[in-house]
Structure 1
């Protein structure tokens, strides 16, 4: 059975097909722009899938007869644009098939504001096993919990049957905040079947489900991969974190240089975890909005770098972007000016867009220029995130390779600035000798 949604007689979308059931619960969701001042008419068409050659696309209408009830759920979406990739396995699930074991799959539900639950994801079916390992899947955070990290997520486990009468094995509840802890003792869940528990006094559970892996979206993964290495070169690990291309509350003004933590006076975040927390909180409050201008954040860092040119500090700007840039000319000028200063720029491109503009900013093949003026030195390193995604799902290895290539040019860029300004390293401090000890030298 399928459901087709029409908006002003234009087909807006079509659900997935659900076989062998008169009570379908569709997973696929649709996002509609709501306009308070307008009347928006929706029409829903139900159709039954039939074998080819028997009118598979003809509507099945019986005039004057009630053919069922449609329950429509709607909720205002948060501005959260994050997504998560996770993988689960189960152990010692109940055996439901008489001639085999079980064919288990999981169904995820998010809780609604009225206490009801809405289906948001189904895993694939793993045949004939009580210890399934399901494939990793990626889901938008707002589909899973609408950006509320503490909202209840219910997970039901079933044994698949061909006729659609899937056998209930059990369920458990969790939250996005719990899942975000990753693989740990906190993410091993007992699958409970209340009816079975009431009937059997010695009932313990119907198996366990374990979270094998959890990873954030590409933005967060890139930030974590690069940041966890480069943060060790900062003494206090307090980092200013800026966002660009968004409407800010309360007046909806568009900004290309706003603090992720919302504090204009103190945009510093404590370590990479602090930046990630500010990033997630920002996604809940701002509305992503074009155009996408790079120049303001480049110039922001350049102002800091211009104030300290004695070699005592060196600044690294990490930009994570989907590749869209609206102020190419201004950005090139900002980079040419920044090439004179103690700073480097790392750009990580996420998504499937073409990154021609980012490659041009990199300047490996052709030194970047602005208004006929060449950059004094190469200070930009660009890498596309998609080139580092390991097909086996080994995110640790992927991010290690990403960080290695992203940071490969920083040492040479740092040294090139110091040499061009004639700045030499300070003398190394004398080795520490504990009081009362004489330091001995051994020649080999």
Structure 2
């Protein structure tokens, strides 16, 4: 008998290395559309546009529904979701005339809505008013965009076949059958010598590469209808399913991201009044501190429901006594260090500079300890539904390296990730120690981190913000999937999973 198991152990696949991409589905409906037709009701169609290099390009469109002002479209938009990118979408609704629906120039525009894919993912179901040209409301018209994962039973499959061969030295090949009938090799196992009952090492094959998330697709190479086979209860009797969690599982489970930025105000940055200073405020373009802050913050803000972000500073003398502080609110409100949106953080930063004296040294452990304490409190909440991201912007190597290593090891037990961005032209070689890419980071006493929570990036290595942002934030989704509070979210994810696929209950 064939066993189908889902596994989580690593393996090599012909589909290439893992990337920070997930396939998602969007479903669209509208209510109270404008009635443009004289004799009949409007015949609506929704056109999905994506922004590419600043230009709006049509990606796909729904079917046309005749004479309906409250359409629920059957068309499903399938998109690649990248956590590390701001993916701008525009939904345009048209009243289609005639039998040809190729263009929309001669059709009546019923309204449009712009958003990001991240906003839809975070809200799960987005309801927005439709706007006409120049921002005018299209009456009471609204559009609803629902989101779901393009996943059915699990993310990866492991096939165990026994008593299938008449020769020794067997190996298994899995092919995808394309629409034109051609075969595409997806995975090849290792060869097991002299064994008529082979059990191969577990391997990973993504559903996207295997069947494009289509559970009805059949594969003659293994002589089974893969998904129908999976759903038979008898095949689970001697197997164990292990759900492979992703970043989107956390979002669907109700997890919220809380974003905190910590800014280096040490004297090595230079006098902010001097144009050579890293803190110089140029009225025509942002400095490197602002560029890094905006690049990371704009991505994280989609997953924070209240859009309020903590903004901290270190290494400066602050009013009223002008004592050195390595952990202060840049809005100078110790009871509420949060700002309204990324723009609020930018304004607080600009207003802070004239009021402080840049000093030193570059100590970051106090802020890491502070965030770890806050994250520990959130981690004790029953559903563990908040994850913290700390963005540290600094122009040099930290002075308190031993204390920082100790703080990171302690923080690795909490729902927290740390992004450190090196600003300016300093030698950041020693900062790579904190990243842990060359080995496991350890405290001065030799205790290893529970999981990798730090990503260090020198800003100068990236010529544009569009390249910098994905390189930094892609690792965050990996931090999520290895977070200690994975177990606490399993029940939440199970609820959402069964809501999506009640036929599996």
Whichever of the two has the greater Rg, that structure is 1
Q: TM-score range, shorter-chain basis?
A: 0.3 to 0.5
Greater relative contact order structure (CA < 8 Å, 6+ sep) = 2
TM-score (norm 2): 0.42
TM-score (norm 1): 0.48
